Amino acid sequence: ETQIIQLDPNHLDEPYARQQVEYAARLLQEGELVVLPTETVYGLGANAFNAQAAEQIFIAKGRPLSDPLIVHIADEHELENIVSVVPEAAKKLAAAFWPGPLTMILPAGPRVPGLITSGLPNVAVRMPSHPIARALIRAAGVPVAAPSANRFMHVSPTTARHAYMDLKGRVPLILDGGPCTVGVESTILDLCAEVPTILRPGGTGLEALRRVLQKVQPPQLRQIQSEEEEDLTQAQAAPGQMRVHYSPHVPTYLFEGSVEDMRHAMLAELQARQAREEHVGVLIADEDLNAFQESGAIIYSLGHTPEQAATRLFAGLRTLEDAGVNVILCRSFTEQGLGLAIRDRLLKAAGGKITKV
Ligand code: TXA
Ligand code: MG
């Protein structure tokens, strides 16, 4: 009972596309959920001013109410309806990065339901650049609350199919706009902190932010030690600080070291596991393809630039998971640009299982 409608983001002016966007907008106005493409990942949208609609998001995802939602807008003037003040820094950042993969944490205005912010005094706002997201938000005439359209704790979806696999039967409509062009979630920047602080690295790089604001506090990349250490009551104590996310359903090991050393260590681990009849998946780069060609592993390459790696990362984790591997061995990449977000997601996927070589 989940309908999927394919739309070409470059031809939204055509009558058929307009009709479908109007239909999706009507669902949002009626308090229903709609999965929509954004440039980062697919989102699970609801009318942000309707607390009952927003509550459906948590139910469909299986997400605890202590994990707050990002509010998406299509035009900057909508910011006034959501936040109580717009600091100078936010204006500068909006001019530089909106529409695009930057989420700002700002003081919440009175119209934002407490459910959206998990009771925090601040709200997360972002203006996506994806033409379908923008058209839908405009047509709905309300801001759209949207987390990533995956089941809670799973890998974020970068295609409509990923979202369908996680949410079929739980949402009436998925708008399919093709694969996401950025591929990792937005950068979350806390502008309520004394020094603007990155809470989650994402599609907008630290270097780029520092060209606009003098001072930006880099994110604290956390290496989660073990699943047992993860305690959902932690989330209650500090909303918005959930520590586990983006985990594939298969144990994932992250290797660190020089390219040569990582390759050797991964191949050795691979052989040891194959000797125990395990099916092994490897997440590598194009430059490693020759070394792994004959290895018998199921190979997924993230390409050769951080931009490519970002668009392929979540699809790669899901592909290996769906291939039925017992384990995923993954190399590390540069931390430049989008590399910081990739490193953060890999650390979370590995949940502390890191091999330094
Ligand atoms: O790219 C993205 O940001 C995607 C697309 C759909 O826009 N959305 C997304 O949402 O990644 P989600 O719900 O998966 O992650 C939002 C995170 C929360 O887990 C929380 O950590 C943080 O944003 N957050 C939201 N509101 C917050 C607030 N008021 N204070 C601090 N952190 C907040
Ligand atoms: Mg998410």
Q: What's the rounded mean pLDDT across residues 266-270?
A: 98
Query: By C-alpha distance, which of 100, 168, 109, 105 is closest to 134?
Result: 100
Query: Residue 257 Cα, ligand 1 centroid: separation in angstroms?
Result: 31
> 3-state DSSP call for residue 95?
helix
Query: Residue 282 Cα, ligand 1 centroid: separation in angstroms?
Result: 29
pLDDT in tens, 79-125: 999 999 999 999 999 999 999 999 999 999 999 999 999 999 999 99
Looking at ligand 1, which atom is closest to the CA of residue 128? 7
Q: What's the rounded mean pLDDT across residues 274-300?
A: 97
Q: Is 148 in the pocket of ligand 1 (CB under 6 A)?
A: yes
Instruction: Give all strands (DSSP E) within the chain, no chain letters.
Output: 3-6, 34-36, 43-47, 70-72, 102-107, 122-126, 144-145, 173-176, 187-190, 197-200, 252-256, 280-284, 298-301, 327-330, 354-356
> What's the CA gap between 98 and 91, in Å, rounded?
10
Asked whether residue 198 carries a pLDDT value surpassing 90, the answer given is: yes
Asked whether residue 354 carries a pLDDT value surpassing 80, the answer given is: yes
Query: By C-alpha distance, which of 202, 194, 208 is closest to 96?
Result: 208
Residue 262 — φ and ψ, nearest 5°? -60, -45
Q: Is 68 in the pocket of ligand 1 (CB under 6 A)?
A: yes
Number of other CB atoms surrounding residue 37 within 10 Å: 30
Q: Does 3.30.1540.10 match the CATH number of domain 252-356?
A: no
Q: What pLDDT does 248 receive?
A: 79
> What's the CA gap between 23 and 33, in Å, rounded?
12
Q: What's the rounded mean pLDDT across residues 2-26?
A: 98
Query: Residue 263 Cα, ligand 2 centroid: separation in angstroms?
Result: 31
Query: Residue 124 Cα, ligand 1 centroid: separation in angstroms?
Result: 7
Question: Mutation test of ligand 1: which of 35, 84, 102, 103 has the most ligand atoms closer than 8 Å to its C-beta?
Answer: 103
The DSSP line for 211-244 is TTSS--BPP-------TTT--HHHHHHSTT----
Collect all residues with Cβ–Cβ distance below 8 Å to 244 and sequence separation of at least 6. Answer: 153, 224, 227, 230, 348, 351
Q: Is 117 in the pocket of ligand 1 (CB under 6 A)?
A: yes
Query: Residue 42 Cα, ligand 2 centroid: separation in angstroms?
Result: 10
Q: Is residue 180 within 8 Å of 39, Cβ to Cβ?
A: yes
- Asked whether the CA dihedral 301, 303, 305, 306 is positive or negative, the reply is negative
Nearest CA to ligand 1 atom 30: 240
The ranges assigned to domains in the chain are 3-227, 252-356
How sure is the predictor about 316, in pLDDT bands with cuts at 50, 70 and 90?
very high
Asked whether residue 142 carries a pLDDT value surpassing 60, the answer given is: yes
Q: What's the rounded mean pLDDT across residues 239-264?
A: 82
> What's the CA gap between 316 and 322, in Å, rounded?
10
Q: Is 129 in the pocket of ligand 1 (CB under 6 A)?
A: no
Collect all residues with Cβ–Cβ distance below 8 Å to 14 and sequence separation of at least 6. Answer: none
Query: Residue 185 Cα, ligand 2 centroid: separation in angstroms?
Result: 8
Protein residues with C-beta less than 5 angstroms from the ion ligand 2: 148
Q: Is 311 in the pocket of ligand 1 (CB under 6 A)?
A: no
Average pLDDT value over all residues in the chain:
94
Q: What's the rounded mean pLDDT across residues 140-160?
A: 97
> What's the CA gap between 268 and 248, in Å, rounded?
23
> 3-state DSSP call for residue 296?
coil
* Reported ipTM: 0.99
Give the residue carrying structure tokens 């039925």.
324
Q: What pLDDT does 235 receive?
A: 43
Looking at ligand 1, which atom is closest to the CA of residue 108? 29
> 3-state DSSP call for residue 17?
helix
Query: Residue 254 Cα, ligand 1 centroid: separation in angstroms?
Result: 25
Q: Is 204 in the pocket of ligand 1 (CB under 6 A)?
A: no
Q: Is 146 in the pocket of ligand 1 (CB under 6 A)?
A: yes
Pairing, β 43-47 against β 34-36: antiparallel
Nearest CA to ligand 1 atom 13: 147
Q: What pLDDT does 43 receive?
A: 98
pLDDT in tens, 216-239: 999 988 765 544 444 544 443 355
For the domain made up of 3-227, the CATH class stated in words is alpha beta
